[in-house]
Structure 1
Amino acid sequence: MNILELEHVTGGYGRTPIIHDISFSLQSNEIVGLIGLNGAGKSTTIKHILGLLSPHSGDIKVLGKNIQDENMRKHLTYIPETPILYEELTLREHIHMTAMAYGLTEDEAMTRAEPLLKLFRLETELDKFPTHFSKGMKQKVMLICAFVVEPELFIIDEPFLGLDPLGIEGLIDLMVSMRDKGKSILMSTHILSTAERYCDRYIIIHHGEKIADGTIEELREQTGVDGTLDDIYLHLTGDNDVD
């Protein structure tokens, strides 16, 4: 069974469609890069997957059930590009709140959080408030809360922005670990060199439409371009401003 499935999804804000007839799926044991420049439709696609926007047409399913089913939301977690934390809650309380939302006990959550706190060097910050954290530290709090849950589907939007090199390596190790446990990860990014190193497959969106889907070898075969992901993207779109 597919973990995530989009079937002919058209949607956007209000009556104006931003994405058009998008179809793709994610299976277990894979990291998939959602590729495109800023404004290509990546974030709009993600908001539809999260149920924050309702599609004008088409269906979105997680584990075979419609995403609008509230029970399905517990099978995925989302890490946004910009950290969103509650200023009145400590790091420990953020972990406890996440546990409550996903049906974990506080003890379970803290046991899972312990190696994550060490990985991101936040084990001494548990009782501090976000006002004392840098942007990178806030991003690490979001990562800890997301990976504590261990859902079937991780959705990560521009994951490397704001992280230091050790944080980036830690996040990559976590994504690989979750993939090897049978989880699915959809990683939205316009930094193609990083995506090429760590993703198993790529979905390329351009001007709100899916224009390619496959492994790097499959994309090379489809396009006839024996080069990098950047080269393939440029061939498909004609854009010269890829980061």
Structure 2
Amino acid sequence: MILKIEHLVGGYSQIPVLKDINFEVRAGELVGLIGLNGAGKSTTINHIIGLLTPQKGKVTINGKTIYQDSEAYKKQIAYIPELPVLYPELTLREHINLTIMAYRLDAKKAWESANKLLKTFRLANKLDWFPDNFSKGMKQKVMIVCAFLTDAKLYIIDEPFLGLDPLATDDLLKLIDERKRAGAGVLMSTHVLDTAEKYCDRFVLLHGGQVQTQGDMASLRNQNPNLGNSLSEIYLGLARAGEHDD
């Protein structure tokens, strides 16, 4: 088990956003985190990466919490946020070197990985560019390169497809599959349901800070036989039902 979330209650104030969340991400699988705006996806991610402290429950990566060994816990995570976060005064080359230092990677081996990734995402000739020179999609590719040159056990990817062109999207999906086969786990938050249905192994659907349902496509269809066959149909049916329950 790579990631395990148990009875997680938390949020940004005393009034919790998350209300007893339970799910897991296993080695070698891609789990889609699905939900309406405000359902609790970003709050869940912020608890996993350590930006928020649980009010109740716990989050473990390979059996360890962030409180047992903060550095070891964080080194197991590579996070790609929805909005790229880059240092304006650092070049692409310096962002890669910073990542290598932060994760304490072997520089030679890491640069071999980085050069392959730079070529894949068509950034190899832009190592001396600053973030102001990059488009939003290019900034997102920088975040992808920095995340995937690490040896992370858990990749957390928030809305990866919104700023990427179709070629980069395909490259990212191939990269995710490669890391899955190497034994990593991937948690991906997305609204692009057709792509999620095609590539995710399982799904966690959040509504109102709770897990509304979870499982692979077969189990989602069995649990919701009247909503349709596609992830989009099931998601929309559950979302509308959830709104009526609120």
TM range (shorter): over 0.9
Aligned residues of 1:91 and 1:127 also touching (Cα < 8 A): yes
2:122 equivalent to 1:125 = no
Aligned residues of 2:77 and 2:154 also touching (Cα < 8 A): yes
Aligned residues of 1:96 and 1:109 also touching (Cα < 8 A): no
Partners of 1:159 and 1:76 in 2: CA distance:
16
Aligned residues of 1:234 and 1:240 also touching (Cα < 8 A): no
Alignment of 1:16-55 (within 5 A): 16-55=15-54
Alignment of 1:88-237 (within 5 A): 88-225=89-226, 226-237=228-239
**TM-score normalised per structure 2:** 0.94
One-letter amino acid of the counterpart of residue 126, structure 1: L
Structure 1 residue 240, shift from structure 2 partner: 11
Partners of 2:54 and 2:43 in 1: CA distance:
10
Partners of 1:159 and 1:5 in 2: CA distance:
22
Misfit runs of 4+, over 4 Å? none
**TM-score normalised per structure 1:** 0.95
Partners of 1:136 and 1:203 in 2: CA distance:
27
Number of residues of Structure 1 aligned to a counterpart in Structure 2: 240
Partners of 2:95 and 2:116 in 1: CA distance:
16
- Indicate the SS of the match to 2:124: coil
Gaps of 5+ in 1: none
Aligned residues of 2:207 and 2:242 also touching (Cα < 8 A): no
Aligned residues of 2:161 and 2:192 also touching (Cα < 8 A): no
One-letter amino acid of the counterpart of residue 58, structure 2: D
One-letter amino acid of the counterpart of residue 95, structure 1: I
Between the two proteins, what is the percent identity of the paired residues? 52
Partners of 1:122 and 1:50 in 2: CA distance:
27
Gaps of 5+ in 2: none
- Indicate the SS of the match to 2:123: coil
